[in-house]
Amino acid sequence: MFEPILIFTVLGFALGIIIVFADWKFYVAENAKVKEVISILPNANCGACGFPGCAAFAQALADKDKNAKSNGCVPGGADIAGKLAEMFGDTNSENDVTKTAKIHCKGGVAEARERAIYDGIPDCLAAVLVVNGSKECEYGCLGFGNCVKSCPFGAISVNKNGVAVINDEKCIGCGACLSSCPRKLIETSPETQKVFIACSNHDKGAKVKQYCTVGCTGCSACTKAVSIPNSIVMDDFLPKLDYNTGENFIVASRKCPSRSFTDLVKVRPTVNIDTKCVGCGNCTEACPVKGAIEGERGERHSVNKNLCIGCGRCIASCETHAIGIWGALAYSERYRFSQNKGQIS
């Protein structure tokens, strides 16, 4: 009885010595800055920085990983970016352009035809694997909410029409939802751009019309409606919007016959022409909406508020700077206008 106890005691003592030695031998001093960074970060662990959580991001910053930037914390914004830049001597402390997620589909139960009844696991990936979804459209939102579960900020929901929608007030553009959608319907784009193509269908127009009333038919009307060349190009029967050109896409969205665009600004500001107007007529030529600006040449012109879509093209055309923007209810505080480019965002 005594011998087993002695043996296990000796073994335990020996293992203890080995563990202590290993701990001493392989000890890595913890960088004090890691703890400091973690205390600054919001600890949302959203992954928007490109690392698996705030602790990993903090460690990467401390290790001077080239992929870790002081402005990498999206939820933290400019305040945290500034603190981290000061801590690590990073002069590139300005945040990148703020982005929000956009879902490129709005064909719900009311717009998109169903080809079958799916009675399986309420999961988008499962539906795709089993019967490729119940919708006739093979590119549309399935509405089971995988993206809802993936969002750490509660910014996504599935509406009554069975389509996922983004809450702009909650979305921080972290991108956590992008990989959750098996049909890749979600992407992030500049928060200031409120207009986007809400369709991902690459079928030909005649086929699309058979099963979705808001699906893009590839008619190219939007490409002709932009004021800046190549702001929209067609790619496999679907428009691609280039937000870097400065185009606001308001006119393009209004010209779309199938209403495939979404404009997040519910009420667009309209323009007003003041007494400096000399009636040159430049504004009527620049206006894409017939009858939105009226008046005889040489006389002060007027704006038909019911027809004006707030695209702003007339403002840049006015030589006397007689045209200005009027606010748009509660949306005015989020409205931005650049007079030198004549663009509204």
Q: Are residues 41 and 148 in the same domain?
A: no
Q: What are phi and psi of 343, to 5 degrees?
A: -120, 145
Percent of the chain with pLDDT over 70: 86
Residue 177's pLDDT band (cuts 50, 70, 90): very high
Question: Which position has the higher pLDDT, 69 or 180?
Answer: 180
Query: What mean pLDDT do residues 191-217 have?
Result: 94
Compute the distance between CA of residue 81 and CA of residue 93 in angstroms, rounded to an integer: 6
Q: Residue 21 has what pLDDT?
A: 63
Q: Are residues 76 and 130 in the same domain?
A: no
Tens digit of each residue's pLDDT (9 = 90 or more) over 303-314: 999 999 999 999
Rounded to whole angstroms, the maximal C-alpha distance in the chain is: 116
Q: Are residues 167 and 68 in the same domain?
A: no
Specify whether the CB–CB gap between 340 and 330 falls below 8 A.
no
Tens digit of each residue's pLDDT (9 = 90 or more) over 226-273: 999 999 999 999 999 999 898 999 999 999 999 999 999 888 889 999
- What is the residue range of 295's domain? 271-344
Among candidate residues 88, 108, 131, the one where a domain is terminated: 88
Among candidate residues 233, 263, 293, the one where a domain is terminated: 263
Which CATH number goes with the domain that contains 74? Answer: 1.10.15.40
Q: Are residues 223 and 340 in the same domain?
A: no
Query: What mean pLDDT do residues 262-285 have?
Result: 92
Q: Are residues 245 and 305 in the same domain?
A: no
